[in-house]
Structure 1
Amino acid sequence: MTRAKLLIFLCFAIGLSSCTSQVEKINGVSFVAYGSPVDSTHTTPVVTQVNANYATVMPFGFIRDLANPEIHHNTERQWFGETRAGTKQYAEELRKLNIKIMIKPQIWIRRGEFTGFLNMESEADWLKLEEEYDEFILEYADLAEEIDAEIFCIGTELENFIDKRPEYWNSLIKKIRAIYKGKLTYASNWDEFKRTPFWSQLDFIGIDAYFPVSDEQTPSFEKCMEGWKRHVPVIQGLSESVQKPILFTEYGYRSVDYTGKEPWKYDRDMTEVNLQAQVNASKALYETFWDKDWFAGGFIWKWFINYEKAGGPENNQFTPQNKPVEETIKYYYSLKH
């Protein structure tokens, strides 16, 4: 065989190998914690309605206010699904349907204060917060290893905590790696991810993808596609620079007017139901990202366990359940990329 023919053969073989080893897209739902265990009646719609292959399960820790370092978690006062036992039971039931798992522990600050603004008033309080967060997150890293979860998320929208205490997070990642052997991500806010300093230490660049894409009352598919053009180069550029795939740890739109303007909002004064707006914005997101090789997939926000009672044509919140957008999700989650 000549040198030229050998090179052609090797290139073909490498190309064939990369195609056959292509990683399956993460077509996920954010499976919301509830006050009781789940069974097949709760998990089956995850597959039948949207063809999901992944689910996020979300235990919670609670903080009293933005300056308080104490994190209360895994207590009898919490809903079952927010505890270690509940997280494990949810994951085990989902696994019966071959749904892969991401464990994503989250912090809730009283009155719904934004976690990104968490800020201690003294060095002693910062050290106490670090101690408390260690206990909280390592509890669930241990659970992730116990149940062999495919992905573990080390935090959600904690920009100020990360900015003020970067060495702590470097140390925390090492502690998690010593416990959990699967893949790691962090759920950065859509306007935070460019500044997160530790992506090279994780397996996915996680983004809660509430990017503004359109100011229209009913954003058209075309306008949303246009709106993504200013964000994609930044997202793709970061992926390429740190050589890590992008994972939308949360994404989705409310079925409400102006859903593409500030998609993170859940203000009570936004009440006008707009099912088409949710469909158009969602379709544009899928068309923009789902066929990209640097994009790993994502988790729709959010999926309630009691399918029959969730969402519906009068609901103006994020859930896609019992709304036209379900068919959009199912279509894109059925594609092979």
Structure 2
Amino acid sequence: MRLFKLLFFILCVSLQACVAQSDKINGVSFVAANAEVYETHVKPIIDVKANYAAIMPFGFIRDLKHPNIVYNTHRQWFGETAEGARQYVGELRKKNIKIMLKPQIWVWHGEFTGFIEMNNEADWTTLEASYSKFILEYAQLAEELKVEIFCIGTELERFIKHRPEYWHQLVLEIRKMYKGKLTYAANWDEFKRTPFWGAMDFIGIDAYFHVSANKTPTVEECLQGWNPHVEVIKKLSSEVGRPILFTEFGYRSVDFTGREPWKSDRNMGAVNLEAQANATKALFKTFWKEDWFSGGFVWKWFINHANSGGANDTRFTPQNKPTEAVIKYYFKSS
């Protein structure tokens, strides 16, 4: 009888561990395109063992001082619109891929959204009304489609800093119409100051932290580089009582990829597939085993897999590079 009880206890613990592992969010950031998606576009996501995809419709602002957001126009790519988001979600759901709907703002000429800042009260009020219309329409879509996670904004630090009460009220409005889990995608150097984490279900971080200044960092060097960041991230998670979600993570396949991972300049230098793979492996080894860490979304994954990435590509995508195998290994193991 004692032996039976012992074996039963071990079995229960093992099953609990399996359940905990299967709850990890193994996501890809599914880039909006000017076309519908079908099973052939979704299959590579299944093959890499992802269980989540971030769908990212876009709104556009003319410049950092302009208060009006334009979205759902005929000039946008299909995948950047609500209609495209609906179609993408429907196709992904056929293969049991869960969804984070993550509407984003694009400032013309690619200026950083964290610097959006109005000059006067009238423009701030206009921006608030425009952003509310934009994000609440997508919150309604998120509820209609029953997506698992809704991201209420991405890298909007100055907007939040100057208008914190607006954001607190916005969360309440979103909660009235959307019943799933909420997060906000804070930039890697912003998340410590975001004032409403207690109202979120996840602390969302776009995880472009400096981890190494070397041309081709080793996995061990990147692991060491993560140490100071991990302490800060873990402490915040404990203080707020919310798990961490990397709303974006990834590295470019270039020299010095761990030095300033947030940079996307096209003239960053030579292809370095090893650097990208090593930095990615270190990130997984650092975080995926932690119970206070919920998972994350690889930046970024294009719908036309066969024609994306590859041995001569310097961009973020891991597709058709050694890093794709790294991601598959850790997604499969978690």
| Normalised-by-shorter TM-score class | over 0.9
The residue that corresponds to 1:83 in the other structure is: 81
Q: What displacement does 1:266 show? A: 1.1
Question: Secondary structure in 2 aligned to 1:301?
Answer: strand
Which of the residues 118, 127, 130 maps onto 2:128?
A: 130
Question: Secondary structure in 1 aligned to 2:275?
Answer: helix
The residue that corresponds to 1:256 in the other structure is: 254
Q: Which aligned pairs between 1:1-337 and structure 2 lie closer than 5 A? A: 19=17, 22=20, 24-48=23-47, 50-336=48-334
Structure 1: which 5+ runs fail to align?
A: 1-10
TM-score (norm 1): 0.94
Q: What displacement does 1:17 show? A: 9.3
Give, as a single letter, the amino acid of the residue that structure 1 aligns with 2:70: H
| Superposition misfits of 4+ residues, deviation over 2 angstroms | 14-23
Q: Distance in 1 between matches of 2:314 and 2:118?
A: 36
Question: Secondary structure in 1 aligned to 2:195?
Answer: coil
Q: What displacement does 1:36 show? A: 1.0
Give, as a single letter, the amino acid of the residue that structure 2 aligns with 1:216: N
Q: Distance in 2 between matches of 1:18 and 1:233?
A: 27
Q: Distance in 2 between matches of 1:269 and 1:306?
A: 24
Q: Distance in 2 between matches of 1:17 and 1:224?
A: 33
Q: What displacement does 1:271 show? A: 2.5
| Residue-by-residue CA offset, 1:66-116 (whole Å, 9 max, x unaligned) | 000000001111000000000010011011111000000000001001000
The residue that corresponds to 1:7 in the other structure is: none
Q: What displacement does 1:18 show? A: 6.2
Give, as a single letter, the amino acid of the residue that structure 1 aligns with 2:309: G
Structure 2: which 5+ runs fail to align?
A: 1-8
Q: Distance in 2 between matches of 1:56 and 1:15?
A: 32
Q: Distance in 1 between matches of 2:300 and 2:68?
A: 27
Question: Secondary structure in 2 aligned to 1:128?
Answer: helix
Q: CA RMSD in A?
A: 1.6
More displaced stretch, 144-153 vs 18-27: 18-27
Question: Secondary structure in 2 aligned to 1:230?
Answer: helix
Length, aligned pairs only: 325
Structure-2 change in CA distance of 1:92 and 1:279 (3 Å) = same
What percent identity do the matched residue pairs reach? 62
Question: Secondary structure in 1 aligned to 2:96?
Answer: coil
TM-score (norm 2): 0.95
